[in-house]
Amino acid sequence: MNWDFIWKYLPMYGEAALLTVKIGLAGIGIAIPVGFFCAVIQYFKVALLRRIVSVYIEISRNTPLLIQLFFIYYALPKIGIPTNPSVCGVAGLAFLGGSYMAEAFRSGLEAVETVQMESALSLGLKRGQALLYVILPQAVSVSVPAFVANIIFLLKETSVFSAVSLMDLMFTAKDLIGQYYKTTESLFMLVVFYMIILLPVSILGSVLERRVRRAGFGS
């Protein structure tokens, strides 16, 4: 192991990691509301929109992110929508993540018993109020584990971004291997940096799960 080499290229990895995190957060930041709205549309069985949502979810979940990225990167400009690597990365992650988040929220919503909605309605609350004050708080607590798992999954998926020439961690590692043949060092740093990004998320996630459970939900 050449520690001088590692030391020298550490800042480069740092920058790449920052880019990975930025694109990851932006993508996930969009995926969460997208998933939320899709889940609510399915929960309330909104006519037409519900069909569109389920088609989107099936396409998104049953195609690899790499293919989705290529599609966004190469196909969209052909129909007049310009893209660049960053936009492409964020859009791809949001497209993939939206469906996974939708499924996480939907399972949470469906876990809340129907009598909860009915008793809220029979108290005279409007459907929106019942959703906001009664169903969602319970649903969110149920979906937290799936939600955290999705965030980790999506952050890991960022490793395919290099395919659309985004200078992320994977791109940097491949670049260094190609230039200097320092395979061990480059991959070692790649692993370390992914751990640095993901480990705190995992730990935070399990703390969150425990807190939600301790709050006394789901008796």
Partner 1 sequence: MADELLTAEHLVKRFDDNTVLDDVSLSVKKGEVIVVVGPSGCGKSTLLRCLNALEPIQGGKITLDGEAVVYGSKNLAAIRQKIGMVFQSYDLFPHLSVLDNILLAPVKAQKRKKDEAAAEAMKLLERVGLADKAKSFPRQLSGGQKQRVAIVRALCMHPVMMLFDEVTAALDPEMVREVLDVMLNLAKQGMTMIIVTHEMQFAKAIADRVVFLENGEIIEDTDPNTFFEHPQTERAKQFLNIFSFERSKKDEKN
Residues interacting with partner 1, by CB under 8 A? 113, 115-116, 118-126, 129, 133-134, 137-138, 141, 215-219
CB of 209 to partner 1, least distance (A): 16
Residue with tokens 């607590």: 141
CB of 120 to partner 1, least distance (A): 8
Element (H, E) at 125: none
CB of 25 to partner 1, least distance (A): 28
Element (H, E) at 109: helix 85-111
| Separation between Cα atoms, residue 83 and residue 72, nearest integer Å | 8
Nearer to partner 1 by Cβ, of 17 and 117: the residue is 117
Nearer to partner 1 by Cβ, of 42 and 141: the residue is 141
CB of 139 to partner 1, least distance (A): 10
| Separation between Cα atoms, residue 97 and residue 99, nearest integer Å | 5
Instruction: For residue 64, give Cα distances in angstroms to 13, 22, 146.
Output: 26, 21, 20
Q: What is the 3-state secondary structure (H, E, C) of 181-217?
A: CCHHHHHHHHHHHHHHHHHHHHHHHHHHHHHHHHCCC
Q: Which residues contact 80 (CB under 8 A, 6 or more apart)?
A: none
CB of 48 to partner 1, least distance (A): 18
Amino acid at 72: I
Q: Which residues contact 138 (CB under 8 A, 6 or more apart)?
A: 108, 111, 112, 116, 217, 218
- For residue 184 the two structure tokens come to 């061990």
CB of 217 to partner 1, least distance (A): 6
